[in-house]
Structure 1
Amino acid sequence: MGAGASDLAAPAEAAGSGLGDMPELCAGEVLLRLGAPDICRLARLNRAFRSAAGADFVWEAKLPENYGYLMGFVRGSAGEDVEGGGKRGAVGKKEVYARLAKAVRFDDGKREFWLEKSTGMVCMALSSKSLVITGIDDRRYWVHMPNTESRFQSVAYLQQIWWFEVVGEIDFRFPAGTYSLYFRLHLGKPSSSRHAGRRGCGSEKNAGSGIHGWDRKPVRFQLSTSDGQNAVSQRYLDDEPGSWALYHAGDFVVAPDTEEHGQGRPVRVKFSMAQIDCTHTKGGLCVDSVLVYPRGFRTERVVDAQR
């Protein structure tokens, strides 16, 4: 996506006068029509763009309407503050955008959100340790294993179980928009090493070992929201072992905030995946995380379930 969060936070470098010194307000009007990475690139063009690229009015237009609420998760963490009162004092909107474009962890490090740098939309990830997983405390069924390909450096691996169910909940103020919820899964036995190969959770040699039961019955995905939205789908877990995939559980819509003073509309999302036919066991599955992305945005292969 080009310029990253570090580019946003760094001062713009001096550059030539390519287009000459146009008025800063004119440069600002151009930048208002661009995404954050392109703003950072144009800041290197000349003095007018460099100055406009640091202006609050440019970056406030890129921030989600509830950025104050989002920064509430940052305040008090490592001495950070926004807009005065803390160790760093007041910071500009560019610095606010840069901070939110990095992962902001909460819930004892088991959840995080960040701004997708190009659009300023909110993304969220929930680790397997933030989910309610049937049998997770019994090592006959599940084990937590380290893995460098997880955002949280750990995955839950299912060895074998009769009743498979993973449940979670999100209670958050999302900016208005449509969001997709995914389970990040991997078929195959994970490596116990923190230096697992790039094929995913396990090596190519053991990727298919231990996988069983998923071809007997489909997994059922469900999603519901506090304002009455529902999605139900199902799919057999029959993809090629050895690589991660995002299994689409459903979409939900957050309406524009009309009464909450720019804090975003509160929404509670409940979700689950289950295969509870107890006539057979199933196993050989890595559960890494649950991801919430703006609809249409994705970073990995997506598996759409059948409605």
Structure 2
Amino acid sequence: MDSLPDDCVSKILSYTSPHDACRFSMVSSTLRSAADSDLLWQSFCPSDYRRILSRALHPHTLDSSSYKHLFCSLCHPLLLDGGNMSFKLEKSSGKKSYILSARQLSITWSSDPLYWCWRTVPESRFKEVAELRMVSWLEIRGEIWTRILTANTWYAVYLIMKISHREYGLDRVACEVSVAVGEKVQSGKVYLCEKDEKKGKKGRVLKMEEEEVMGVAAKREDGWMEIKVGEFFSGENDEHVTMSLMEVGYQLKGGLVVEGIEVRPKHHHS
């Protein structure tokens, strides 16, 4: 390997991953030179990185002095489209992930202050989040095209949320979730928060419902909660992906705080 030209070694390393390239750089000085080359790190950057940069809210925060520095900068959340979408590269693989803010989602009755309110919270990466005051019909939908994702990759979809101290009714009925790619639809049921058996529920009913439920919201590292909506495969073709969460059982509910929907690479397909 040491006898090969640097550009040849860089080309070989481009078939590995950013994580592997960093490991190879510690083997020898020849590999270190090839592993730090612009040729290699340009191959790890998204092919549409110029378009992504053109959409950045604060492009001046990125270090583009080299392709390696640019790649590392893109591994940190980058606000796009006026701050309504967040983009990030997975550091180990270079695969793309996005978070659609609540403003980019279709939330039934979100424009009516009787049912929803929009407010700023310091812990959110976005300017505004949507807080549910009271509805009987909860419906949240998001859309994305596979052309902006990494091809031939399994993706998982999560609703990013919190439950306020004014919560009521969210643990009474399971929500229906679905991810549709073209004519392929994956669906299931989830609970937005833990069920409280002290609220007058009958154990028999709970047991029947739990057999169909995929899960409940779990805590994230950033302090928010997330609940899985589904997963899909991003292939070579450009396809339209629709993600939704719905509960239309006419149970009054409130206290749900929606930050957005995340679409991120899934490491193990189930």
Are 1:230 and 2:185 counterparts? yes
Judged with a 3 Å threshold, the aligned counterparts in structure 2 of structure 1 residues 217 and 267 are, in CA distance, closer, same or farther, namely same
Q: Any unmatched runs of 5+ in structure 2?
A: 196-216
Please list, as runs of the form range in 1=range in 2, the aligned pairs for 1:210-225 lying within 5 A after superposition.
Answer: 210-225=166-181
Distance 1:286 1:43 in 2: 45
2:156 counterpart of 1:184: no
Aligned: 1:239 with 2:214: no
Please tell me whether residue 134 in structure 1 is matched to residue 108 in structure 2. yes
Per the normalisation by structure 1, the TM-score is 0.65
Unaligned runs of 5+ in 1: 1-21, 82-87, 190-208, 257-264, 298-303
Percent of matched pairs sharing the same residue = 26
Does the 8 A contact of 1:142 with 1:160 survive in 2? yes
Deviation digits for residues 237-270 of structure 1 (CA, Å, limit 9, x no counterpart): 23389953321111111223xxxxxxxx322111
Tell me what 2:36 maps to. 54
The separation in 2 between residues aligned to 1:136 and 1:246, in whole angstroms, is: 20
Query: Of residues 175, 178, 181 in structure 1, which corresponds to 2:150?
Result: 175
Partner secondary structure for residue 210 of structure 1: strand
What amino acid sits opposite 1:229 in the alignment?
Answer: K
- What does residue 51 of structure 2 align with? 72
| TM-aligned CA deviation for residue 60 of structure 1 | 4.2
Q: What's the counterpart of residue 119 of structure 2?
A: 145
Shift of 1:127: 0.7
Alignment map for 1:210-289 (pairs within 5 Å): 210-226=166-182, 228-239=183-194, 243=219, 244-256=224-236, 265-278=237-250, 280-289=251-260
- Distance in 1 (CA, whole Å) between partners of 2:32 and 2:188 is 49
2:135 matches 1:161: yes
Q: Is the 8 A contact 1:74 1:104 kept in 2?
A: no
Task: Give the Cα separation in 1 of the matches to 2:39 and 2:30.
Answer: 15
C-alpha distance in 2 between matches for 1:40 and 1:154? 38
Looking at structure 2, the residues matched to 239 and 78 of structure 1 have their Cα atoms a distance apart, in angstroms, of 37
CA RMSD of aligned residues (A): 3.5
Distance 2:169 2:244 in 1: 19
For 2:242 and 2:228, locate their aligned partners in 1 and report how far apart those are by CA, in whole Å. Answer: 14
Q: Give the TM-score normalised by the residue count of structure 2.
A: 0.72
Give the Cα–Cα distance (whole angstroms) in 2 for the partners of residues 32 and 74 of structure 1: 22
**C-alpha distance in 1 between matches for 2:172 and 2:57:** 50
Which has a greater percent of strand? 2
Which structure is richer in relative contact order (CA contacts within 8 A, separation 6 or more)? 2
Residue 116 of structure 1 is aligned with which of 90, 93, 100? 90
CA contact (8 A) 1:231 1:249 kept: no
In structure 2, the residue corresponding to 1:129 is in which secondary structure?
helix
Relative to its length, the structure with more helix (as a share) is: 2
Aligned positions, number: 238
Q: Does the CA-based 8 Å contact 1:131-1:168 persist in structure 2?
A: yes
